[in-house]
Structure 1
Amino acid sequence: MTDDQKTYVIAGAAAAISLIAWLALVVVPAWKSYWRVRDRLVATLLSVYVLAAFVLAGAGVGAAVLWYFSDRL
C-alpha cells in the first residue's frame, strides 16, 4: 500500500466516523424532538449547518497547525 493510499484510507475512515457521530449525536436527537415530518426535515436541514460549522472549525484548526508547524514537517 502506498503512502497516498494510506492517506485516502485514513481520510475516508475519519469522514465515516465523523458522519456517524453527526448522525448519532445531532440528527437523531433533532429528528426525535418533533413529531411532524416537516419539522423533522427542517431540524435535519438545520443540523447540516452544524455539520458545516464542525467541518470548517476542523479545517481551520488543521490550517493553523500547518501554518505554525510547517517548518517542522
Structure 2
Amino acid sequence: MSNTEVTYLVGACCTVFALAAYVAFILVPAWTAYSRVWQRMAAAVLSLYVLAAFVALGVAGGAAIVWFWDRIGV
C-alpha cells in the first residue's frame, strides 16, 4: 500500500466516523425532539448549519496548523 493510498484510507475513515458522529449526536436528537414530521424535517435541515459550523472549525484549525507549522516545529 502506497503513502497516497494510506492517506486516502485515513481520510475516508475520518469522513465516515465524522458523519456517524453527526448522525448519532446531532441529527438523531434533533429529529426525536419533535413529534410532527414537518418539525422533524425542519430540525434536520437546520442541523446542517451545525454540521457546516463544525466543518468550518475543522478547516480553520487545519489551516492554522499548516500556516504556523514552521513556528510549532522544533
* 1:45 equivalenced with 2:45 (yes/no): yes
Question: Deviation of residue 70 (structure 1)?
Answer: 4.6
What's the TM-score once normalised by structure 2's chain length?
A: 0.92
Distance in 2 (CA, whole Å) between partners of 1:23 and 1:30 is: 10
Structure 1's consecutive aligned runs of 4 or more residues displaced over 3 angstroms after TM superposition are: none
RMSD across aligned C-alpha pairs, in angstroms?
A: 1.1
1:21 aligns with 2:26: no
Task: Give unmatched runs, 5+ long, in structure 1.
Answer: none
Runs of 5+ in structure 2 lacking a partner? none
Q: CA deviation at 1:26?
A: 0.4
Deviations 1:9-52 (A, max 9, x none): 00010010000000000000000000000000000000011001
1:34 counterpart letter in structure 2 = Y
Which residue number corresponds to residue 56 of structure 1? 56
Q: CA 1:53–1:41 in structure 2 vs 1: closer, same or farther (change >3 Å)?
A: same
Q: How many residues align?
A: 72
TM-score by length of 1: 0.94
Alpha-carbon distance between aligned partners in 2 of 1:17 and 1:43, rounded to the nearest angstrom: 22
